[in-house]
Amino acid sequence: MASNPTKRITAAGTVALRTGADGQQEVLLVHRPRYRDWSLPKGKIMADEYLPGCAVRETREETAVTVELGVPLDPIGYPVDNGAKKVYYWRASAVKERRHAPDDEVDEVAWLPVALAMDVITYHDERPVLQQAMEMPTSTPLVVVRHAKAMLRANWSGRDQARPLDERGRRQSRLLVPLLEAYGVRKLASSTSVRCQKTLQPYAKAQRLEVDGWTTLSEEQAAKDAKAVSTLMRRLVKQTAADGVPTAICGHRPVLPLMLEAIGVPARSLQPGAAVVAHLGPDADVVAVEFHKPRI
């Protein structure tokens, strides 16, 4: 049987912004000698990677600039040899910069005023993405995670709240680290059940954070008092928006609809290790929503 020659390439990148010395907004561009072009930093996704993590990693590898993501922007699609490529973008803020060492892939990196960058960018389809980034409001990410894959109830004889992650779940929890890092998460909350706490533990350890446990978010307690879940979530949403501190909250499949509806996001089915990112405006309104599922 002949193989299908069509290939689909998925990539991710950023519109990284900073305020220049003269107060103007500047955007980060790269020059690629192979193509002789100026473009937004981007690159192909790795096998087990979440797209946001790819966007941050590729930006760092190409420019030596570490960024944190804001709202998602419109993707760009275009044909490549024997197939098609789709690039997903985020508005991003620079949080750390090092000197870029020129290489065969990127020989020059430049922060340019946005007006100048509009003229310098080689590809016309990247200009609307830059314009969109400039028009989007600032926001704070709130990441709601369904706990990673847990041991089956039938194979666990202890209390259900103590049921641990299985091998796949432990791997999913580790792969969540670059996803949460991409949004600059600095506060963690969770159901008190072990499978939820363990899902956030690798990130908590990497960032030296504590996970605030809430019995209210456990399956058992939520079944008794659904209103308390909604009240708690609305409080956490308001606090996240007011403080401007990116936050992640881990919960259970039966409780997630209550958690999402309290944020203002329609409930939907999420697989273990999946995440919903709600970008909150200053008044705790949701200005953008993303859904990311694990690739294992």
Residue with tokens 């680290």: 177
At 70 the pLDDT is 98
Q: Could you give phi then psi for residue 2, rounded to 5 degrees? A: -70, 140
pLDDT over 80 at 63, yes or no: yes
pLDDT over 50 at 5, yes or no: yes
- Going by pLDDT thresholds of 50, 70 and 90, the confidence category of residue 3 is very low
At 244 the pLDDT is 97
Q: How many CB atoms lie within 10 A of CB 225?
A: 11
At 49 the pLDDT is 96
At 82 the pLDDT is 80
pLDDT tens digits along 8-59? 999 999 999 999 989 999 999 999 999 999 999 999 999 999 999 999 999 9
Whether the predicted model's global pTM rises above the 0.85 cut: yes
* N-terminal to C-terminal alpha carbon distance within the chain: 28
Pick the CATH number of 7-135 from 3.40.630.10, 3.40.50.300, 3.90.79.10, 3.30.43.10: 3.90.79.10
> What is the CA 26 to chain-centroid distance, rounded?
23
At 123 the pLDDT is 95
- How confident is the model over 150-158, as a mean pLDDT? 94
pLDDT over 50 at 1, yes or no: no
Domain locations along the chain = 7-135, 140-292
- Specify the amino acid at residue 142: L
Q: How far apart are CA 221 and CA 123, in angstroms?
A: 54
* 4 vs 240, more confident: 240
Cα-Cα-Cα-Cα dihedral of 90, 96, 97, 102, to 10°?
-60
Pairing of strands 247-251, 65-80: unpaired
CATH fourth-level superfamily of 140-292: Phosphoglycerate mutase-like (3.40.50.1240)
Q: How far apart are CA 279 and CA 139, in angstroms?
A: 6
pLDDT over 50 at 130, yes or no: yes
Strand partners, 211: 188
At 2 the pLDDT is 47
Q: How far apart are CA 49 and CA 43, in angstroms?
A: 12
Average pLDDT of the chain to the nearest whole number: 96
pLDDT tens digits along 227-284? 999 999 999 999 999 999 999 999 999 999 999 999 999 998 999 999 999 999 999 9
pLDDT over 60 at 118, yes or no: yes
Query: Could you tell me what percent of the chain has a pLDDT over 90?
Result: 94
- Specify the amino acid at residue 113: P
DSSP state for residue 22 in the 8-state scheme = T
- How confident is the model over 82-93, as a mean pLDDT? 95
- Going by pLDDT thresholds of 50, 70 and 90, the confidence category of residue 167 is very high
> What is the CA 146 to chain-centroid distance, rounded?
14
At 81 the pLDDT is 85
- How confident is the model over 156-173, as a mean pLDDT? 96
